[in-house]
């Protein structure tokens, strides 16, 4: 196995804080969690086709200008709430917001990764809430929050799986694009899109069965506060799913140097090395926010097939599932 669990256990037992740029105090946290890595592999392969079909409708052309919009909510008090937003990151994504549904544009890597992300989400949430992962609408009855929803490329397949979805993003252009695209399909037109922040949602006392933040935490100013907000938005024993990039030399070489500067899959400057978190650091932050990590997996890209798959290798991209403590 690429990642040594003994190293993680030692880190947690010693209560080490190896991310002073994230939090200045030591994190003396109890070692009370169980992580399953690689447990999804065989299970995911059986439901991959179902998740892929749910996301297949995402391969849509650029939006027509005369489309109607779904429900969009703008928060008027967001400026007054303590926020983990990073203004420079917001400006960066606002500049490319119109390309969310361009399958050959800056967000092409996320479109390619989406079926694999959905496989992990489908299996973990169905196990958490005792749902049938093979059913056509396995998330029926679940309220799911998509934090940093962007143009809605994750919100839409979640809605097609039966969930009641709320997507939030601090970039107004993203919300408008997401709303416009969702309105084109009756199965996704019920998605509630809000131009707001997780912190503002906490102030409004919103609660969800599951809170998902994919490829978001590396772009916020304060990951610890951000995770506290995710926890506050989750019901007791509810689910949290986060994906991000590991702060490893291999990730620097592949996700930054190769993806941004050589292959130019992403705009230069999309990711900053100092903003990335290691799996150990993220587990510690989540524990402090009353979220116990239950499962973790890596994403690996096959350049020959052009597809992503789940793996035990979390040295570059990884995704985790956790549950909020009941007390």
pLDDT by residue, tens only, the chain of 327 residues: 434 444 443 444 443 333 333 333 333 333 333 344 444 333 333 333 334 444 444 434 333 333 333 444 444 443 444 456 667 656 755 676 788 899 888 888 889 999 999 999 999 999 999 999 999 999 999 999 999 999 999 999 999 999 999 999 999 999 999 999 999 999 999 999 999 999 999 999 999 999 999 999 988 989 999 999 999 999 999 999 999 999 988 877 766 666 566 666 666 666 566 778 999 999 999 999 999 999 999 999 888 888 989 999 999 999 999 999 986
C-alpha to C-alpha distance for 120 and 295, rounded to whole angstroms:
10
Question: What local confidence, expressed as pLDDT, does residue 160 receive?
Answer: 98
Answer yes or no: is 89 a known binding residue. no
Question: Does 218 appear as a known binding residue?
Answer: yes
Measured at the alpha carbon of residue 123, what is the angle toward residues 132 and 138, in degrees to the nearest 5? 35
pLDDT value at residue 89: 59
For residue 166, the model assigns a pLDDT of 98
| Helix, strand, coil % in the chain, rounded to nearest 5 | 40, 20, 45
Instruction: Say if residue 87 carries a ligand binding annotation.
Output: no
Cβ neighbours of residue 271 under 8 Å, at least 6 residues apart?
218, 245, 255, 256, 260
What residues pair up with 145 in beta bridges, in sequence order?
166, 211
117 annotated as a binding-site residue: yes
Q: Is 118 annotated as a binding residue?
A: no
Cβ distance 299 to 311 under 8 Å? yes
User: What is the number of other CB atoms lying within 10 angstroms of the CB of residue 45?
Assistant: 12
Q: Which residues of 124-141 are buried (b: 16+ CB within 10 A; e: fewer)?
A: bbbbbbebebeeeebbee
Provide the pLDDT for residue 318: 96
What is the reported pTM? 0.73
pLDDT at position 83:
57
Whether residue 172 is annotated as binding a ligand: the answer is: no
Asked if 126 and 132 touch (Cβ cutoff 8 Å), the reply is: yes
Q: Is 276 annotated among the ligand-binding residues?
A: no
| Count of CA atoms in the C-beta half-sphere (13 A) of 314 | 23
């Amino acid at each position: 196995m690429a990642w040594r669990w003994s190293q993680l256990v030692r880190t947690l037992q010693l209560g080490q804080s190896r991310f002073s740029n994230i939090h200045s105090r030591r994190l003396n946290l109890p070692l009370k969690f169980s992580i399953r890595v690689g447990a999804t592999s065989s299970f995911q392969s059986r439901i991959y086709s179902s998740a892929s079909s749910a996301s297949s409708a995402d391969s849509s052309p650029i939006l027509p200008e005369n489309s109607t919009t779904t429900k969009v909510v703008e928060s008027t008090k967001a400026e007054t709430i303590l926020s983990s937003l990073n203004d420079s990151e917001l400006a960066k994504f606002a500049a490319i917001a119109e390309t969310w549904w361009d399958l050959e544009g800056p967000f092409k890597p996320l479109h390619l990764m989406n079926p694999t992300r959905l496989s992990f989400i489908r299996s973990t949430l169905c196990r958490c809430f005792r749902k049938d992962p093979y059913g056509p609408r396995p998330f029926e009855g679940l309220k799911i929050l998509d934090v940093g929803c962007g143009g809605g490329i994750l919100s839409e397949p979640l809605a097609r799986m039966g969930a009641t979805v709320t997507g939030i993003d601090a970039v107004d252009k993203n919300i408008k694009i997401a709303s416009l695209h969702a309105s084109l399909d009756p199965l996704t037109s019920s998605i509630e899109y809000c131009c707001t922040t997780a912190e503002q949602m906490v102030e409004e006392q919103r609660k969800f069965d599951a809170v998902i933040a994919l490829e978001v935490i590396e772009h916020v100013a304060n990951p610890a506060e951000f995770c506290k907000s995710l926890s506050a938005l989750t019901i007791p024993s509810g689910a949290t799913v986060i994906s991000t990039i590991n702060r490893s030399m291999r990730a620097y070489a592949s996700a930054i140097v190769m993806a941004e500067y050589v292959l130019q899959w992403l705009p230069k400057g999309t990711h900053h090395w100092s903003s990335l978190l290691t799996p150990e650091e993220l587990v510690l932050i989540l524990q402090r926010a009353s979220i116990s990590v239950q499962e973790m997996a890596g994403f690996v890209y096959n350049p020959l097939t052009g597809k992503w798959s789940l793996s035990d290798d979390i040295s570059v991209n990884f995704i985790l599932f956790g549950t909020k403590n009941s007390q």
